[in-house]
């Protein structure tokens, strides 16, 4: 143990000996967080925490943070541990695993759920579906915690109708880095009322979310309400044995329609026209890579089939647009929306085919982590929100850039990622994916990092929005000056809330550590611990 | 050591902490209450008690970055090796955590630190007496009822297992009577049947498990049996999966077919040789034993290298739990008149482990009982069942212990006991 014995005892007195440990095995198992750009760099560099603590209530969280401040011990809140940013990057941290805080309550009448930080989306969705409600399983998978993902944008395919998770956030209970509790929205007036997000006075949700979430850099949200939507979940039949599990879709209420085009521009045009009609629950183009690895029996069979079929794909140049229709108000809505889709496609063209009456990916995103299947690691090279035209332009440029770094990146085809419409087409989300092996050859990691920096510079050249700021994405020292030095302001803000600098340091300013890049990092030195 | 860590190091390094290994398949997850799949992590909470955290501990062990301690041994051994994490990880990320979990135990033994003292005690009994209870192995066939006489020579051999031979003899008796009821002539090995060694292998005692495998395989070969039937899920999985694994061959090369009793009886049912004519008026639910369900797919011997992207060269077949023996027991139960069979939320490949396997019952009885109590709660809350039916004596034994400890009203039976009632046998 490398924190003061006195501090450990103080923490132990809060949760009891059962829920704190400095055992080497326990600490070892909190050394390495999940996925994200920095995962390769973390290999061999991540530090063990000094101890791991599992609070069971907001009051315990509050007391833990008070002790951490008293002894100036850094802490890291952990929801599901799915991202690298929750792995220790400075010595002697306290990892706060929040899985015991799995409070979940659904207000069916007012259609919102209140959750604790240990609740994952799959749990929430399971409880929602049987009540005729739904949340959105995010693109990163329903193993993500609801609160963690809401604080980190929370993007998923159903945002076409539901909007981003960030905007579904209602009342919030938030323990600041110094241990004080702040409640937002209607909760600020009544501890039991999580119905409304905006409250009297300034709305601090913008501070809470930051540019792309603080990943534990601004305290711990201990309770949050999220808006729910009507959904005919009771009609879904679970079916199959692993790995072929999914929902049988009742065709009179839920249906996928796929439309094939000879160019991405035509597919995008169809999405644009469908968006104008404001029908559907999800609308996107889908990468062909995904179709291959989501069905692959094994890594070996994926690589064999993918590389065998790639030349034919490049020759034929197919592109697929998908729309999911849901009769939220019943069969008549379903029939109407399908007629609209067929009418629009009849006008703009395309080879329309009904999808399988089966869903494994979107209602309760069960196979999101297949994204790691091809190479072992995946990074979102672009995470972009803009008009459809701007997203298309960036996606095509990104595809070219990706080719430059292939190999070591795994060869891809077409738009190597997702183009998903949000807010009924008022925004287009573009996520470009790269797959690689982070462990076999260190040079692959280096090339990946260099490519990532070049991608960030490309964003700036194209005046494209660089998503994932301050996260595991673009280096803030590159994009910061172009974005009004947002990163410095973010740091100033953090210093107000976290005067001791102990809330998951060096959040929010992680940058390309561990790999020697040809860029000047010295302006950031003052923020190094 | 049987497992080469270098082959699976890539898996340990590339775990992305998606936590799939802890949860019920997200499609099948039906409630917050019964959403977890890993008993070890659900009870002990820290990630050192989950496949994702154990991957990190394995890396530290391989690199000598962690020292053995009682706590480390607990982290290694307080797990039923029920295969749920494998099924979940192979569904998505494509890694095989169970290989690393087994390696950790084998390394602990090689380093002179494992297994747990309780496992050593059982292993000593097996070494001396060839059964896990330390009883005279010459009395192994004493369970035989007076009205059942095994054949001297037959195509079918009933591998009885330690538990049904020595403790829950009524299960072996029910099995034998049911075999007779279908007109099946069967042999037994008697004192030539040694403990299958499931726990020996699962606690890392590979050499001793190999000794059991060599003996039992020879005894089976000498018997001339074409089909070996096991009514214990552990024996079944050992014969079908672990013996080929230990002996460096494939299940298909064993030279005989291995069937669980439920598989064989389902065949008899479909062939019209088994009739259920007596109603069993009870509301029940079925517990899929891990080693009959998701862990029972045939073993295919593989030798080769691991390359970039984690690719196996030559390609290695993955055991994802897809083709486990889930339906035979259900077919049987659904054919019994009067029996109302209700499914729990966690079922088939997503079944919650009863808690008895992998050496847990011997060394961590608190975990075993807690796991069983969790399942009993699920049976009560989601099915209203009067009884939990399983197809493994260790499941039944552990459920019984949990029922007694919790003063529960629910009952537990082995499927053979229910079938015996359904054919009109009084006992």
Say yes or no: B91 contacts chain A, CB-CB below 8 A: yes
Q: Is residue A474 part of a domain?
A: no
pLDDT at A489: 84
Pick A366's closest partner by Cβ from B27, B294, B321: B27
* Separation between Cα atoms, residue A394 and residue A387, nearest integer Å: 11
Tokens of A105: 């309550």
pLDDT single digits (tens) A443-473: 887 788 778 878 888 888 888 888 766 555 5
- List helix spans (H) across B63-96: 70-77, 84-92
Q: Is residue B51 part of a domain?
A: yes
Pick B92's closest partner by Cβ from A81, A82, A367: A367
Whether the predicted pLDDT of B344 surpasses 70: yes
Contact A369 B16 (CB under 8 A): yes
Sign of CA dihedral B28, B31, B36, B37: negative
pLDDT at B342: 98
Say yes or no: A26 contacts chain B, CB-CB below 8 A: yes
pLDDT single digits (tens) B312-324: 999 999 999 999 9
Contact B315 A300 (CB under 8 A): yes
Chain A to chain B, count of Cβ pairs less than 8 Å apart? 215
Whether the predicted pLDDT of B335 surpasses 60: yes
Q: Which of A445, A461, A477 is the last residue of a domain?
A: A461
Spatial CA neighbour of B263 closest among B253, B274, B252 = B274
B84: closest chain A residue by CA: A242
Q: Is residue A524 part of a domain?
A: no
Contact A100 B45 (CB under 8 A): yes
pLDDT at A491: 81
Tracing tokens 């919650």 back to the chain, one arrives at B352
A48: closest chain B residue by CA: B56
Q: How many CB atoms lie within 10 A of CB A346?
A: 10
pLDDT at A513: 43
Q: How far is A168 from chain B (nearest CA, A)?
A: 21
Say yes or no: B138 contacts chain A, CB-CB below 8 A: no
Contact A372 B26 (CB under 8 A): no
pLDDT single digits (tens) B86-119: 999 999 899 999 999 999 999 999 999 999 999 9
Q: Into how many domains does chain B fold?
A: 1
pLDDT at A479: 77
For residues A378-382, give the mean pLDDT: 88
pLDDT single digits (tens) B350-376: 999 999 999 999 999 999 999 999 999
Pick A25's closest partner by Cβ from B30, B66, B317: B66
Residue A1 banded pLDDT, cuts 50, 70, 90: low
Interface confidence (ipTM) of the complex: 0.96
Q: Is residue A248 part of a domain?
A: yes
Both A302 and A424 in one domain: the answer is yes
Residue A521 banded pLDDT, cuts 50, 70, 90: very low
Say yes or no: B13 contacts chain A, CB-CB below 8 A: yes
Q: Is residue A470 part of a domain?
A: no
Average pLDDT, chain A: 89
Least confident of A19-28, A378-387, A466-475, B417-426: A466-475
For residues A357-376, give the mean pLDDT: 88
Burial class for A27, CB neighbours closer than 10 Å (0-12, 13-18, 19+): buried
Sign of CA dihedral A135, A358, A376, A287: negative
Q: Is residue A336 part of a domain?
A: yes
Both A91 and A164 in one domain: the answer is no
Both A251 and A312 in one domain: the answer is yes
Whether the predicted pLDDT of A527 surpasses 50: no
Both A263 and A326 in one domain: the answer is yes
Q: Is residue A218 part of a domain?
A: yes
pLDDT at A519: 47
Angle at A358 between CA A357 and CA A362, to 5 degrees: 120
Q: Is residue B59 part of a domain?
A: yes
Tokens of B336: 């019994």
| B 357-396 residues with CB < 8 A to A | none
Share of chain A above pLDDT 70, in %: 91
pLDDT single digits (tens) A232-291: 988 899 999 999 999 999 999 999 999 999 999 999 999 999 999 999 999 999 999 998
Set of chain B residues whose Cβ sits within 8 Å of the Cβ of A23: 48, 69, 71-72, 75
pLDDT single digits (tens) A32-52: 888 766 665 555 567 899 999
A59: domain CATH number is: 3.30.43.10
Least confident of A58-72, A101-115, A203-217, B91-105: A203-217
pLDDT single digits (tens) A298-356: 999 999 999 999 999 999 999 999 999 999 999 999 999 999 999 999 999 999 999 99
Between residues A1 and B368, which one has the greater pLDDT? Answer: B368
Contact A97 B25 (CB under 8 A): no
Domain that holds residue B349: 5-422
Whether the predicted pLDDT of B232 surpasses 80: yes
Say yes or no: B35 contacts chain A, CB-CB below 8 A: yes
Contact B28 A245 (CB under 8 A): yes
Set of chain B residues whose Cβ sits within 8 Å of the Cβ of A410: 309
DSSP code of residue A44: T
Both A290 and A415 in one domain: the answer is yes
A436: domain CATH number is: 3.40.462.40
Q: Into how many domains does chain A fold?
A: 3
Pick B71's closest partner by Cβ from A23, A82, A102: A23
pLDDT at A178: 97
Pick A24's closest partner by Cβ from B13, B66, B310: B66
Average pLDDT, chain B: 97
Both A326 and A368 in one domain: the answer is yes
A138: domain CATH number is: 3.30.465.10
pLDDT at A166: 86
Domain that holds residue A241: 237-461
pLDDT at A405: 94
Say yes or no: B33 contacts chain A, CB-CB below 8 A: no
Both A183 and A306 in one domain: the answer is no
For residues A195-211, give the mean pLDDT: 83
Say yes or no: A439 contacts chain B, CB-CB below 8 A: yes
pLDDT at A101: 98
Q: Is residue A468 part of a domain?
A: no
Q: Is residue B418 part of a domain?
A: yes
| A 77-136 residues with CB < 8 A to B | 80-82, 97, 99-100, 102, 104, 119-120, 122-123, 125-127, 130
Angle at A86 between CA A84 and CA A87, to 5 degrees: 70
Between residues A138 and A201, which one has the greater pLDDT? Answer: A138
Burial class for A396, CB neighbours closer than 10 Å (0-12, 13-18, 19+): middle
* Separation between Cα atoms, residue B292 and residue B310, nearest integer Å: 29
Whether the predicted pLDDT of B401 surpasses 50: yes
pLDDT at A43: 57
Both A19 and A161 in one domain: the answer is no
For residues B18-34, give the mean pLDDT: 96
Both A326 and A398 in one domain: the answer is yes
Both A90 and A169 in one domain: the answer is no
For residues A188-212, give the mean pLDDT: 85
Set of chain A residues whose Cβ sits within 8 Å of the Cβ of B27: 238, 240, 245-247, 360, 364, 366
Residue B300 banded pLDDT, cuts 50, 70, 90: very high
Residue A522 banded pLDDT, cuts 50, 70, 90: very low
Both A292 and A160 in one domain: the answer is no
Say yes or no: B37 contacts chain A, CB-CB below 8 A: no
pLDDT at A529: 35
**Ramachandran area for residue A219 (φ above 0: left; ψ -120 to 50: alpha; else beta):** left
Both A130 and A92 in one domain: the answer is no
Residue A526 banded pLDDT, cuts 50, 70, 90: very low
Q: Which of A461, A479, A506 is the last residue of a domain?
A: A461
Question: Could you tell me if A253 and A338 are in contact, meaning their C-beta atoms sit under 8 angstroms apart?
Answer: no
Q: Which of A194, A213, A230 is the last residue of a domain?
A: A230
Q: Is residue A290 part of a domain?
A: yes
pLDDT at A81: 84
Set of chain B residues whose Cβ sits within 8 Å of the Cβ of A126: 29-32, 35
Contact A143 B32 (CB under 8 A): no
B85: closest chain A residue by CA: A242
Q: Is residue B427 part of a domain?
A: no
- Scored b (16 or more CB within 10 A) or e, B409-427 reads ebebbbbbbbbbbbbeeee
- Scored b (16 or more CB within 10 A) or e, B135-156 reads bebeebbebbeeeeebeeebeb
Say yes or no: A56 contacts chain B, CB-CB below 8 A: no
């Amino acid at each position: 143990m490398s924190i003061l014995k006195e501090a450990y005892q103080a923490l132990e007195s809060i949760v009891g000996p059962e829920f704190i440990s400095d055992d080497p095995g326990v600490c070892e198992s909190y050394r390495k967080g999940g996925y994200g750009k920095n995962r390769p760099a973390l290999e061999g560099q991540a530090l063990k925490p000094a101890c791991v603590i599992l609070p069971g209530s907001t009051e315990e969280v509050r007391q833990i943070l008070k002790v951490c401040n008293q002894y100036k011990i850094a802490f890291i809140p952990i929801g599901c541990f799915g991202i690298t940013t929750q792995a220790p990057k400075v010595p002697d941290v306290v990892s706060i695993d929040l899985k015991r805080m799995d409070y979940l309550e659904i207000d069916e009448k007012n259609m919102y759920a209140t959750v604790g930080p240990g609740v994952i989306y799959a749990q929430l969705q399971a409880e929602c579906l049987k009540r005729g409600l739904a949340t959105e399983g995010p693109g990163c998978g329903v193993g993500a915690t609801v609160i963690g993902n809401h604080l980190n944008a929370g993007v998923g395919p159903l945002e076409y109708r539901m909007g981003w998770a960030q905007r579904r956030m209602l009342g919030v209970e938030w323990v600041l880095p110094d241990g004080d509790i702040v409640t937002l929205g209607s909760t600020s007036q009544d501890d039991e009322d999580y119905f409304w997000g905006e409250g009297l006075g300034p709305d601090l949700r913008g501070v809470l979310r930051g540019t792309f979430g603080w990943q534990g850099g601004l305290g711990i949200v201990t309770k949050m309400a999220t808006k729910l939507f009507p959904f005919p979940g009771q009609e879904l039949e679970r079916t199959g044995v692993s790995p072929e599990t999914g929902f049988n879709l009742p065709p009179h209420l839920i249906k996928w329609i796929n439309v094939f085009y000879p160019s991405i521009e035509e597919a995008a045009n169809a999405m644009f026209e469908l968006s104008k009609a404001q029908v559907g629950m999800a609308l996107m183009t889908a990468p062909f890579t995904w179709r291959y690895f989501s069905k692959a029996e094994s890594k070996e069979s994926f690589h064999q089939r993918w590389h065998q079929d790639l030349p034919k794909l490049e020759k034929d140049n197919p592109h697929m647009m998908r729309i999911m229709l849901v009769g939220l108000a019943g069969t008549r809505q379903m029939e109407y929306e399908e007629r609209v889709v067929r009418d629009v496609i009849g006008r703009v063209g395309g080879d329309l085919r009904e999808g399988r009456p089966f869903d494994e990916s979107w209602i309760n995103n069960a196979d999101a982590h297949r994204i790691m299947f091809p190479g072992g690691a995946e990074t979102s090279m672009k995470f972009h929100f803009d008009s459809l035209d701007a997203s298309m332009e960036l996606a095509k440029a990104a595809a070219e850039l990706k080719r430059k770094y292939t190999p070591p990146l795994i060869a891809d085809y077409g738009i190597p990622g997702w183009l998903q419409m949000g807010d009924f087409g008022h925004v287009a989300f573009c996520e470009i994916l790269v797959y690689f092996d982070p462990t076999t050859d260190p040079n692959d990691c280096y090339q990946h990092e260099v490519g990532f920096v070049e991608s960030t510079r490309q964003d700036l050249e194209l005046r494209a929005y660089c998503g994932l700021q301050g996260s595991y994405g673009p280096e803030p020292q590159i994009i910061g000056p172009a974005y009004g030095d947002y990163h410095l302001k973010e740091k100033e803000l953090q210093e107000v809330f976290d005067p001791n600098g102990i809330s998951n340091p060096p959040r929010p300013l992680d940058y390309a550590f561990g790999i020697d890049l040809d860029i000047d990092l010295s302006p950031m030195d003052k923020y190094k611990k | 050591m049987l497992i080469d860590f270098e082959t699976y190091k890539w898996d340990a390094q590339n775990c992305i902490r998606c936590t799939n290994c802890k949860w019920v398949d997200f499609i099948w997850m039906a409630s917050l209450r019964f959403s977890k799949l890993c008993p070890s992590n659900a009870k002990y909470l820290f990630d050192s008690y989950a496949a994702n955290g154990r991957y990190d501990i394995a890396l530290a062990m391989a690199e000598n970055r962690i020292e053995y301690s009682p706590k480390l041994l607990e982290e290694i051994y307080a797990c039923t090796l029920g295969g749920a994490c494998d099924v979940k990880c192979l569904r998505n990320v494509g890694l095989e955590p169970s290989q690393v979990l087994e390696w950790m135990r084998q390394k602990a033994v090689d380093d002179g630190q494992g297994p747990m003292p309780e496992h050593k005690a059982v292993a000593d009994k097996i070494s001396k007496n060839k059964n896990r209870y330390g009883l005279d192995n010459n009395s192994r066939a004493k369970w035989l009822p007076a009205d059942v006489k095994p054949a001297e020579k037959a195509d079918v051999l009933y591998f009885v297992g330690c538990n049904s031979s020595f403790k829950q003899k009524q299960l072996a008796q029910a099995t034998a009577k049911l075999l007779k009821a279908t007109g099946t002539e069967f042999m037994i090995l008697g004192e030539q049947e040694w403990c299958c060694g499931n726990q020996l292998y699962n606690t890392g005692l590979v050499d001793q498990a190999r000794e059991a495998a060599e003996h039992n395989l020879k005894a089976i070969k000498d018997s001339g049996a074409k089909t070996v039937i096991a009514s214990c899920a552990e024996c079944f999985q050992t014969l079908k999966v672990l013996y080929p694994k230990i002996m460096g061959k494939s299940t298909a090369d064993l030279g005989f077919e291995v069937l669980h009793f439920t598989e064989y009886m389902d065949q008899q049912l479909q062939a019209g040789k088994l009739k259920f004519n007596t109603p069993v008026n009870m509301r029940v639910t079925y517990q899929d034993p891990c080693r009959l369900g998701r862990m029972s797919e045939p073993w295919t011997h593989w030798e080769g290298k691991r390359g970039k992207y984690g690719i196996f060269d030559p390609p290695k077949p993955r055991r994802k739990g897809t083709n486990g023996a889930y339906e035979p027991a259900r077919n049987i139960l659904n054919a019994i008149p009067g029996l109302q069979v209700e499914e729990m939320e966690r079922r088939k490949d997503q079944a919650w482990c009863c808690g008895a396997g992998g050496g847990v019952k011997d060394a961590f009885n608190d975990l075993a009982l807690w796991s069983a109590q969790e399942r009993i709660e699920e049976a009560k809350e989601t099915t209203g069942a009067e009884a939990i039916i399983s197809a493994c004596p260790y499941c039944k034994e552990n459920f019984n212990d949990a029922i007694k400890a919790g003063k529960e009203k629910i009952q537990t039976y082995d499927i053979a006991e229910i079938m015996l009632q359904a054919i009109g046998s009084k006992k």
